[in-house]
Amino acid sequence: MKDIYFDVDWTKNKKFVNKIKRQTPSGNPTWGNIQAVDDIEMADYHVIFNYPTIKLGDTQSLIFSMEPPNNPQISDWKKLDVDQSFPISEFYFPQYWKINKSYTELKNISPPEKTKDLSWITSNKGQRVNKLYRVLRWFIWKLGYKNHETKQILRGPLDGHLLRMRFLDWLAKTGIDFDLYGRGNFNLDQYRGEIKDKWSGLSQYRYTLAIENYKGKNYFSEKISDALLAWTMPIYWGCTNLSDFLPEDSYIRIDIEDPSAPKKISDIVQSNIREKNIDAIAEARERILDRYQVWPTVQNAIENHKIQTK
């Protein structure tokens, strides 16, 4: 059994482990031949998400990106003396879900009854962007630069948030019936408030909008994973090579930079595409639970990249 220490830059080790132990079959912080410990001195591996919060020592170190590659913090990795790095440019985002269900519950649960058609769970971060920055980005795009098909220098770390909020404005004006949930001050008739457990904003719905804050290779987050785990078909924008990871029929792509996208969503919601592709959704769920979530990802990284303890 190999001991691993999780070092994440948004919370404490113990809090993180206590949260993700529900992602194991036993409900304990173990998976296969790895187990989490709360003392770096006892660890065989120092597993870092985004950026280390403690000093790198002799313990073998692995670093994973949980943010898009246009995040300035990720560019600082070159300064770190880590044994193995897994940037989004080369590797996927290790999945951890935001729904209050255990691994065992999710493995065993049948598709819940769907009584509603469309939801969207998001924050209003793009609305809170500095006004000068927002005006500058809109000016660049109006010159003809499509946000996520330009040189990296023209990709700002908040661009995806801005596009997402612009798309929300478009969608809200169409009259499409959907329920909006999330943190922020949304002055919209569709807004239903914050929810403590995303399950309640997903499990009742046949479809949900899963809009990332970045479009590019390998970056897919809990926005799509949570939807699939709730047996809800994602209407998706984000990862450009998602079919390398999940069955193509388990989600539907849209382009949020296309003003006609709301019409496409309306057509989707009135269809039975989800019901026809329920087997693809089931396969996607299995891959998330047993391949792409945090525990198997870390174990496979250690084994397949032949990182050895000293």
Q: What value does the mean pLDDT take over residues 283-301?
A: 98
Bridge partners, residue 8, by sequence: 49
Q: How many residues does this entry show for the chain?
A: 310
Helices of type H across 175-291: 222-229, 261-269, 273-276, 278-287
**Which residue has better confidence, 291 or 124?**
291
pLDDT for residue 150 is more than 50: no
Residue 107's H or E segment, with its range, is helix 103-108
Q: Please, which pLDDT band fits residue 307 given cuts at 50, 70 and 90?
A: very low
Rounded Cα distance between 253 and 235, Å, is 6
Helices (H) and strands (E) in the chain, counts: 9, 11
Q: List all residues 6 or more positions away from 130 whose beta carbon is below 8 Å from its beta carbon.
A: none
Strands 2-8 and 34-36 come out as parallel
Measured CA to CA, the distance from residue 21 to residue 258 in angstroms comes to 40
Summarize pLDDT for 240-275 with one digit per residue, the tens. 999 999 999 999 999 998 989 999 999 999 999 999
Taking the CA atoms of residue 139, residue 143, residue 149 and residue 153 in that order, the dihedral angle to the nearest 10 degrees is: -60
**pLDDT of the residue at 69:** 80
The pTM (predicted TM-score) of the whole model is 0.90
| Rounded average pLDDT over 136-149 | 52
Crossing angle of helices 261-269 and 159-174, rounded to 10°: 60
Q: What is the largest CA-CA distance in the chain?
A: 61
Fold designation for 103-290: Rossmann fold (3.40.50)
Q: Is the confidence at residue 141, as pLDDT, over 50? A: yes
Bridge-partner residues for 85, per DSSP?
Answer: 63
Query: Where exactly are the structural domains of the chain?
Result: 2-91, 103-290
What mean pLDDT do residues 290-310 have? 81
Per residue, what are the HEC states of 130-196? CHHHHHHHHHHHHCCCCHHHCCHHHCCCCHHHHHHHHHHHHHHHHCCCCEEECCCCCCCCCECCCCC
- Segment 186-219, tens digit of pLDDT: 889 999 999 999 999 999 999 999 999 889 999 9
Share of the chain above pLDDT 70, in %: 86
Q: What is the pLDDT of residues 160-189, one digit of tens each?
A: 778 898 899 899 999 899 999 998 888 899
The residue with greater pLDDT, 70 or 118, is: 118
**pLDDT of 62 over the 60 cut:** yes
CA distances from residue 165 to 122, 154, 213 in whole angstroms, order as listed:
9, 19, 10
In DSSP terms, which residues pair with 181 in a beta bridge? 121
